[in-house]
């Protein structure tokens, strides 16, 4: 065996290895939708900037790979034919080309080659960006967007663009459901300033009943002196069948009082409502001070995105009512806000 034959054999083996590497390497950048890429770029994500560079150079990179495949395959065939003759060399060359393609499709080969490529990817992309001549060899290749959802903002964006598929109510329900886990109790509770309560020693007579009806509410915390000391719950529908022996709020109230922290999530509150079968919670802060009320209807409204109307309630958005300060809380003539 001459030195030329040895050189051709080594060259053929090297070319076969190169061909496997060229075919096995994964050049496609991470698949995310255009919306998600823009969102990450707007947030200054460095990985998104690199991904954008990968997508920009992908046509040239694909063109370079195809050129290398053609050149390496041709040289491999010529080396094999020169070494073994047209017939035997041609058959072996075809077998080698098929074998390299089979090996390149193996997961272990793709993983190994792609891992090595990632080490030099940034340098390769920077070099390819200056090789404008590759534009003559590039071609249009179908690159489909991966429709998997990468973030909640992206899903909201898709829902917002689905006017022809989803009705307004359906879109509202979906958007409310998506944001439900991010909402906490104090975001939707009835504020302390709008709590209508009744003292436990209050006599339940016609005048008091009339006042309770005029509030527009169906449930009232029963207090001992002030709203930071709630001792029970009075339900308006219970007063319809009030007996003569229960003349005070204490006698007519239900003694069970449930508390929820203002910083708890609505998911936590909903589970608590389902577990206790109670419809009204007292909202407290870290000092155990009463800061508001939370009803089951409030939570369901936040989940569904529309109001759930209690037949006994007149006002449906007490937070908006509270913002108008109808009770003129802390508004003396000499008021100075700082």
Q: Does residue 178 fall inside a structural domain?
A: no
Task: Tell whether 128 and 40 lie within a shared domain.
Answer: yes
Tell which of 77, 101, 136 closes a domain: 136
Same domain, 194 and 255: yes
Q: Which residues pair with 184 in a beta bridge?
A: 265
* Token pair in block for residue 7: 């050189």
Across the chain, mean pLDDT equals 78
- Return the higher-pLDDT residue of 319 and 200: 200
| Inter-CA distances, 276 with 272, 281, 308, Å | 6, 10, 20
What's the mean pLDDT in 200-228?
88
Query: Is pLDDT above 50 for 191?
Result: yes
10-68 confidence digits (pLDDT tens): 888 888 888 888 888 877 656 666 666 677 777 777 666 666 666 667 777 777 788 88
Q: Is 292 helix (H, G, I), strand (E, B) or coil?
A: strand
d(C-alpha 275, C-alpha 194), whole Å: 27
The CATH number linked to 292 is 3.10.580.10
Q: How do residues 248-286 score in pLDDT, each as one tens digit?
A: 889 889 999 999 999 999 999 999 999 999 999 999 999
Q: What is the mean pLDDT of residues 157-171?
A: 77
What total of structural domains would you count in the chain?
2
Q: Is the same domain home to 106 and 18?
A: yes
Note the pLDDT of residue 189. Answer: 93
Task: Examine the fold and report which residue of 102, 136, 170 is the final residue of a domain before the chain moves on.
Answer: 136
> Which pLDDT belongs to residue 311?
46
Q: What secondary structure, in 3-state letters, does 200-221 show?
A: CCCECCHHHHHHHHHCCCCEEE
Model confidence at 164: pLDDT above 90:
no
Residue 173, pLDDT > 70, answer yes
Alpha carbon separation from 48 to 34, 41, 148 (Å, rounded): 11, 6, 17
Instruction: For residue 274, tell me if it sits in a domain.
Output: yes
Secondary structure letter of residue 31 according to DSSP: -
> pLDDT band for position 312 (50/70/90)?
very low
Tell whether 269 is covered by a domain.
yes
Interhelix angle 46-84/107-128, rounded to 10 degrees, is 110
Sheet holding 219-224, edge to edge: 198-199, 219-224, 226-235
In-domain check, residue 77: yes
In a domain, 159, yes or no: no
Q: What is the pLDDT of residue 101?
A: 86
Residues 48 and 132 in one domain: yes
Out of 209-218, 220-229, 314-323, pick the least confident: 314-323
Range of the domain at 103: 3-136
What pLDDT digit, counting tens, does each position of 123-160 carry? 777 777 777 776 666 654 444 445 556 677 767 777 77
Query: Which pLDDT does position 237 carry in this prediction?
Result: 81
Q: Is residue 115 part of a domain?
A: yes
Beta strands at 280-284 and 259-261: parallel, antiparallel or unpaired: parallel
Residue 334 in this model has a pLDDT that exceeds 60: no
Question: At residue 306, does pLDDT exceed 70?
Answer: no
């Amino acid at each position: 065996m001459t030195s030329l034959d040895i050189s051709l054999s080594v060259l053929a083996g090297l070319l076969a290895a190169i061909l496997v590497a060229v075919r096995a390497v994964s050049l496609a950048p991470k698949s995310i939708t255009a919306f998600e890429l823009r969102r990450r770029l707007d947030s200054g994500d460095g990985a998104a900037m690199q991904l954008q560079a990968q997508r920009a150079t992908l046509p040239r990179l694909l063109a370079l790979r195809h050129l290398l495949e053609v050149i390496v395959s041709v040289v491999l065939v010529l080396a094999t034919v020169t070494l073994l003759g047209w017939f035997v060399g041609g058959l072996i060359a075809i077998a080698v080309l098929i074998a390299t393609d089979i090996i390149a499709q193996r997961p272990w080969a793709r993983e190994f080659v792609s891992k090595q490529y990632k080490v030099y990817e940034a340098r390769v992309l920077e070099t390819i960006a200056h090789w404008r001549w590759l534009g003559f060899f590039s071609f249009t290749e179908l690159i489909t967007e991966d429709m998997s959802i990468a973030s909640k903002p992206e899903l909201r964006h898709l829902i917002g663009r689905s006017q022809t598929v989803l009705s307004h109510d359906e879109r509202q329900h979906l958007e409310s459901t998506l944001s439900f886990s991010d909402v906490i109790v104090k975001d939707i509770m009835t504020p302390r300033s709008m709590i209508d309560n009744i003292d436990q020693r209050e006599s339940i007579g016609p005048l008091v009943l009339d006042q309770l009806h005029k509030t527009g509410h169906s449930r009232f915390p029963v207090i001992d002196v002030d709203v930071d000391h709630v001792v029970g719950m009075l339900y308006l529908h219970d007063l319809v069948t009030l007996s003569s022996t229960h003349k005070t709020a204490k006698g007519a109230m239900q003694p069970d009082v449930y508390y929820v922290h203002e910083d708890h999530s609505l998911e936590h509150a909903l589970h608590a409502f389902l577990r206790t079968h109670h419809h009204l919670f007292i909202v407290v802060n870290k000092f155990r001070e009463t800061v508001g009320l939370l009803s089951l209807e409030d939570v369901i409204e936040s989940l569904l995105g529309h109001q759930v109307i209690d037949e006994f309630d007149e006002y449906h958005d007490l937070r908006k009512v509270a913002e108008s300060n109808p009770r003129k809380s802390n508004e003396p003539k000499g008021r100075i806000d700082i």
